Each structure stands twice: as structure tokens, then as C-alpha cells.
Structure 1
């Protein structure tokens, strides 16, 4: 399985060997923490105690990109030539080849692979990296107790490649055989074509005469095995590094026995080490941090990831659930904000309506008073209008009435004809009065309701009642 590295300015690398737990942490181009917990005797209890001490007060977030390194001697490496250059086909062929290499069920192994080179004939030289799943899952359990999860798992030879790239400013060649000494064992890696093309591990504790001969034999054996792989890229020099008490002695004893230039490089050469959280000087004497330093200072994507597939899927599922929960929380917050806004808006509207209602109630009494005053004013105005009309009518009647007409009654009612009662000296005088009223612009259709003659003291008078409708203006 291959995954992209976590984007972070902090990288943490962890390695658990037979002798110690080693931790290196970088920030940018600086090493900010380098520590080792040395076992008094290796046991699950000692590993757990070392983990607790090294990761005390640290959380997953503090680690940034977290890489677990598996010691080379716990992995089986095999070289195969596959008749394809297509990634999907190579992946499937690699699985089939891995099942043939070890006496384990396919589900019991974890496989990584790296394409070393592609031949002109269309073949791919592939390095198979095979680790039993129990080894990796055991390490993961120790980390889970501290609530820590590495995003990537690889073998330590991948770190030596990146450490070697950091040393190129010091003069290393494009290809080299690197012997990295650690407490209790040594690892031999051949670097060529910007890849770790060969790796081998063997036990090595002290640099006695017997150990020096063993080292020489292991180097020659590795070179012979490497040549049989027909990779075709030969190392140009041998570099000794790692535990300083071993690398110094190895360089001096091998210089005259090998047909290569022998170089000794300090494991921290050319690397910026900050004072905080650094291991004791004696740890550099007995232990190797080269692979951890190389990976901690590299942002390159690893060619393979030995993280178990079921663990990867479990984490993806957990991350998906967390994302769903986070989405649910955010959605709930948005809904709550909307509802709160609506409630506040409604509450504000209610307060405004209540305030306006109170003001309207205060104004209603004044409105009632104003309406009553308006009615009274209209009534007075009407009455004044009527009084004016009545006076105008009466004035007009007396203006045009002949001298022989005597009015005894003047009846006026709004929107009704005027009633005139009186006496005239003769009946003809009554009808002359009617004609006079008809001639006025104020009256129309004047009628004599009745007229009669009677004697008063030897004289005749004519009583009358006249109805005069008023001409509308």
C-alpha cells in the first residue's frame, strides 16, 4: 500500500530494536528532539515503559507526520524480474511472487514493493519487502496504548537512502555501499540510481579481530549476492556510519582489504541539531540514528507503506465517522443559529408590535375626542349653513312680496319646501304673489295649497297657504 505523506512541518520517526527505542523529531530542516530509551532487557513491559517515557505529554497532533521504522532483520527482501511495466500488473504479480517466497498464508504477510529499474525489453526489476503482520501489529498495539497512530510504516533502509542524500554535500558518490552500525547488529545497504537497491542485516556487537573478519566476509558475501541480481550498478565507495565506537574501528581495518574507497561519516554530519531534547553523547557512541535522521528530514513520498490494510480501512472508517459527526455538529449549529435568529427576530417584532399597540391605545382616546369634536363641528357647520339658507330665503320673500301681502306664518325645514301662510286683500293678489315667487331664482314650481275669502269688519280678505320648493344651487 502506498500513501501520500502527511503535510506537516513536523516529522516524527520511531524505531524499536532489540536494544532500544529511538525517537527523532524534526521541525523544518532542524532536528528538535533525538532520544533513546535503552532496554535493561527487552520485554513487553520494558517497551511499554519506554513508550510512556518518550511520548509523555505528547499527543498525535504533536507528532505531525509520524513514521514507524521496522528493523531490516525483521523483514524479508527478495528481488524479482516481472514481465510488465504497468503499475496495476506489477502490484498483482508482486503479490503472487511474495506468496511463493515465505511459508506463510497470504493474509498473514504485509507486502511492500519498489520498482528498482525498467529494462529496455519491458521488464521491471522489483524489490519485494515482506513482513509478518504479527510483528507490525505488535508495535501498533504499544502505540495504541498511548493513543498514537503512525501514518506510515517502512523499513530502516529507506531512511539510510535519505540520510545518504543529505551527505552528498560532503562528497559521497552517486552509488555507495553503506555499513550502518547499531547496538547488536549492522545493516549493509547499497545505494544506486537514487534507490536503496540492496539491503542485508547481520549481528555485530564489538569490533574484535573476529568481528572484523566477519564484517569483511559479510561485505564480500553481500557484494557477491548483489552481483547475481544483475542490477548492473556497482558501488563506487564504502561508507561506515552509525554507532561511532564501531564505525571508527571498521573504517581503519577495512581500508586496506577492500577495492573501494573507505569513508567514515558521522551520523549527525551536516545535520542541524537543536539543543532541546537531544540524546546523550554516549547514545551516538552505541546506537545509530542515521535512518531516523534521514526520514525525519525528508518530505519525499515513501515508495511503499507497510501499514496493515485492515488498520488503514479502520482508520478511514473512523475518520469518516468523525467527519460525519463534525458535519452534523456544524449543521446543528447552523440550524440553531438560524432558529435563534428567527426567534430573536420574532421576539423583536412582538416587542415592536406591543409598543405600537400601547401607543395606539394611548392615541385612541385622543382620536375618539377628535372624532367627537369633528362631528360637533360638522353639526354646527350644517346648522350654520341651514341658518344662513333660511335667512337668505326669508330675506328674498320679504324683498319680493307686494305691499298688500301680509305673512302670518313662515315654515322652513331642511330639504323640504317652504310653507307660507298669510292674507291678501284680494284673491288676485294671492296669485300675483305666486307669480312673483315663480319669477325669483330661489324658488320653483310654487303652488297654492288653498285660498279663501272672508270678511273682516265690512272688508274682504283672502287667506292663503303657498308651498315654495327651493331651487337647488
Structure 2
């Protein structure tokens, strides 16, 4: 196991704050890479390898569990790598530009491109780009379902939640595209990743995997029978380029980059340059990790085993599009996420309810406390307050009586002034509410109406009305009985 202190790395890859572990295993070895990712940089990196030859699935689960336990790895995200020789890729054209339709068409047609039935495979794809207006070029990525389910089962037995299974060629292509001087933006670039048992030939363009082919020749073959396998390797690279060209996917690559096990890459560079019409160079990925003076001590390990396929996802995780997850696990996770959202919403509502209740209870409590304090302070003075209140009420009554005293005389005086001589009053009434009525006898009805008008002009009377006027005969002549009602302008109390 080796540890690398990596400060200031990863800013060009747009990483967020998380911890990530990437695991790769086959029938011979178990490889682990773990990084603590802070804002825009990897704080540190740990990668290791273990021999698991002849191990069954339970042994692999136990080896992963022990590795996580010994290194105290507690990642937020766990990723696994699908072996590239088990991946089937196919470049096809889809007669649609709509992502939803593309997904449906791929799901229906994927079985045609594999010897498996639709139920036996897991499919994902890379959208390469538009073609002939209404067509879309895609790279199908197909993996047998039992391969992916086996990986999820191994991690479940290890007690570890596996988030996603990756297609390593995608993250390697993005990594090489970013760190190499030729960033594959104007022309496609071919990346040849040499590992122990296999070689992955990938064409990348604009940080997308355009073409992929697995070559069953690795460093172990090239070290045993160098001349034979070197020739075969060159032929396989030629065949891969010809297959890419025949599919009319994009422009031909303008450069081939050899990476992975760098010793074999350096030995093959000159022969490939002679045999191919494309410039060939090697890229030692360790040089692009700022590990300082420790690089020399790490080189023996990385020169015999390639760790690029498990380090690259740490740096490109946010940009990875492909995720090989069984549909039933996707549905289960979607259900779990919805359940979490419902629980969160319920907790939020209960919290708001509790806060509102607490606020109301606190208001009642503080008001009661304040009332008790007021009673404590002013309780002894309550008798005096009651006495003062009674006295004040009495004073108000007396004031009202005094203010109204003499007003009746003023009203009668006013009435005397405006009363015509040909009218005789027989009854005068008024109450404390200011209602005033008079009854009398007039020599004529005109005199009554004139009297009403004079009362209306007076400041003492309002709303003057003639309730009735009736004629009757006396020995002395005709007279008119009447009754006038009104309100006094000043209210009696």
C-alpha cells in the first residue's frame, strides 16, 4: 500500500467535497484507490493491490471488507470498475434527436447487437452527436447482467454500499484529454491503455468516448514473447484504427497516446511510429500527480501494475456519464430517495408545528407571568383602586347633573320667545334622552306650520316634525289641535 499527499490537484476536474473509493478486481488481483476530496483538490490518495488468485466471491468480499477496515476507509461514494474485456461496445446511428426516444430505441434494439437476450444485459450509451439532421450517433455500452449483479452481490456481502459500476475507458479518456497537451478538442485522439492482461484502445473527442475496443494482449504477454506479441500488438492497433475508420464515426485520430504500464509503452513507441501513419507518444500518468520526491519510491509498483483506471475516476467523477446499474436497483434507489424526501418533509412539517406551538405556549406563559407580577406589585393597592373608581363614577354623575341643570329653563325661555300669540300650549314633555314634544291649540293651521318653521330655525331644537294637526269647532270659532315632536340639541343626562 502506498500513500500520496496530493495538494492542489483536481482543480481542473471540478471536484466537489466528498470522499471516493474505487475498487477493481479480477481473478488475480484486487486494486483499491481511495481519496479524500476537499473543495477543488484531493487532500490525499491511497492506492493498494492484493493477490486474490483462486479466491471465490466470499473471499473477495472479505478481502474488500478487510481493506476498508485496515485503512479506515469510510467513503461517501464507492465505485467499481467493470472488466473491459467483458464489455461489448457498438457504434450505431439512431433516427432521432430526442433523448427520451433515443433511450427507448436503444432499449428495444440492443439485443440485436449482442448474443444475449434483452433481459440478460445492462445497457448504457454515450451520445456522440447529431448526424444528418435527424440522426444521432451513439456508442452502445453493453455488459452481461450477471457480471454487474455479481459485483453488487460481492459488495453487499462485504457490508459496503456500491453506488455505481463504471466503464473505465470513459474516465481514462477524460483524464488523458485534460492532462495531455493535445486535449482532443479539434481532432480525435487515440488512447491506448496497457494493463497486465489486456489493452484498451479508445478514441476520445471533446472528452467523449467515440470508439472502444479491447485487445487481449497485455504487459504479461509482451514480456514473455516480446517479438511475437509486439507484432500482434501493432496489428491489433492497425485493425482498431481501420475498424474506427470503417464505421465513419469521426475524423481519424491525429495522435496515439500510450499509457498505463509505461515500460511496455516506451518499448512499443518506436515500432508503432514506424508502422503507423499517426504520431505515437507515451504518457506516464504518475508524472501528472504532484507527489514530489516520493515518485521514485512509487515507480516500482506502478511500473508492474496499472492503477490509472482506478485513479482516473477519482479525478473525473463529476463528469462521468455512464453508470452500469441494474434496473431493479435503480427503481429501489428511486423509491428509497422518494421515501427519504417524504420523511424529510414530515420532519420539517412536525418541526414547524412544534416551533409554532412552542411560540404560542411561550407567549401565553410570558403573559401569565407578567400578569402575576402585576398582581403581586399592584395587588395590595386594589382596594384603594376600587374606592377611587367608585368616587370617580360619583363625580362623573354629579358633573353630568350639574352640566344639565338650568337647561330646561333655557328651553322654555326659547320656546316662549318663538311662540306666536295665537297659539296656546296645553302640554310640554321632554326626557333625559332629549326627546321633546308639545301639544296645543292654534287659531289656524297656518299658525301651526309657521311655529314649526320657527322651531327649526332655533338652536335648541332639531328634527322638528308636526305629528298631527286637526280642526275642530268651538263656540268662539274654528281651532286646530296639534302636536309637535323634536329633539333637543343638547342631550340630557
CA shift for structure 1 position 330: 3.0
Aligned to 2:195: 182
Aligned to 1:123: 135
CA shift for structure 1 position 273: 4.0
Aligned partner (choices 66, 71, 85) of residue 97 of structure 2: 85
In structure 2, the CA distance between the partners of 1:115 and 1:359, relative to structure 1 (3 Å rule), is closer
In structure 2, the CA distance between the partners of 1:118 and 1:206, relative to structure 1 (3 Å rule), is same
Aligned to 1:313: 331
Q: How many residues align?
A: 367
Q: If you compute each CA radius of gyration, which structure gives the higher value, 1 or 2?
A: 1
CA shift for structure 1 position 358: 4.6
Q: CA RMSD in A?
A: 3.7
Matched residue SS, 1:272: coil
Residues 45-76 of structure 1: per-residue CA shift (max 9 Å, x gap): 34323422443434453x4xx54432221211
Tell me, in whole angstroms, the C-alpha distance in 2 between the residues paired with 1:216 and 1:175: 20
Question: Where in structure 2 are there 5+ consecutive unaligned residues?
Answer: 1-12, 392-493
Aligned partner (choices 39, 52, 59) of residue 40 of structure 1: 52
Tell me, in whole angstroms, the C-alpha distance in 2 between the residues paired with 1:367 and 1:227: 106
Please say if 1:72 is aligned against 2:84. Answer: yes
TM-score, scaled to structure 2: 0.64
CA shift for structure 1 position 284: 0.9
Tell me, in whole angstroms, the C-alpha distance in 2 between the residues paired with 1:256 and 1:38: 38
Aligned partner (choices 62, 66, 76) of residue 49 of structure 1: 62
In structure 2, the CA distance between the partners of 1:69 and 1:267, relative to structure 1 (3 Å rule), is same
Structural mapping, 1:63-462, within 5 Å: 63=77, 67-120=79-132, 122-144=134-156, 145-150=158-163, 152-169=164-181, 174-192=187-205, 194-201=207-214, 202-204=216-218, 205-207=220-222, 208-209=225-226, 210-273=228-291, 280-298=298-316, 301-359=319-377, 361-364=379-382
Matched residue SS, 1:235: coil
Tell me, in whole angstroms, the C-alpha distance in 1 between the residues paired with 2:361 and 2:203: 72
Matched residue SS, 1:52: helix
TM-score, scaled to structure 1: 0.66
Query: Structure 1 segments of 4 or more deviating over 6 A?
Result: 170-173, 367-372
Tell me, in whole angstroms, the C-alpha distance in 1 between the residues paired with 2:32 and 2:151: 13
Matched residue SS, 1:184: coil
CA shift for structure 1 position 267: 1.8
Matched residue SS, 1:248: helix
Q: Contact 2:80–2:162 at 8 Å: present in 1 too? A: no
Of structures 1 and 2, the one scoring higher in RCO (CA 8 A, sep 6+) is 1
Between 315-324 and 48-57, the greater mean CA deviation after superposition: 48-57
CA shift for structure 1 position 164: 1.9
Residues 201-250 of structure 1: per-residue CA shift (max 9 Å, x gap): 22422423232233123222322322321225222232221023432333
Tell me, in whole angstroms, the C-alpha distance in 2 between the residues paired with 1:305 and 1:369: 87
Aligned to 2:4: none
Matched residue SS, 1:268: helix
Q: Contact 1:251–1:264 at 8 Å: present in 2 too? A: yes
CA shift for structure 1 position 130: 0.8
Aligned to 2:6: none
Q: Contact 1:240–1:263 at 8 Å: present in 2 too? A: yes
Aligned partner (choices 10, 13, 17) of residue 9 of structure 1: 17
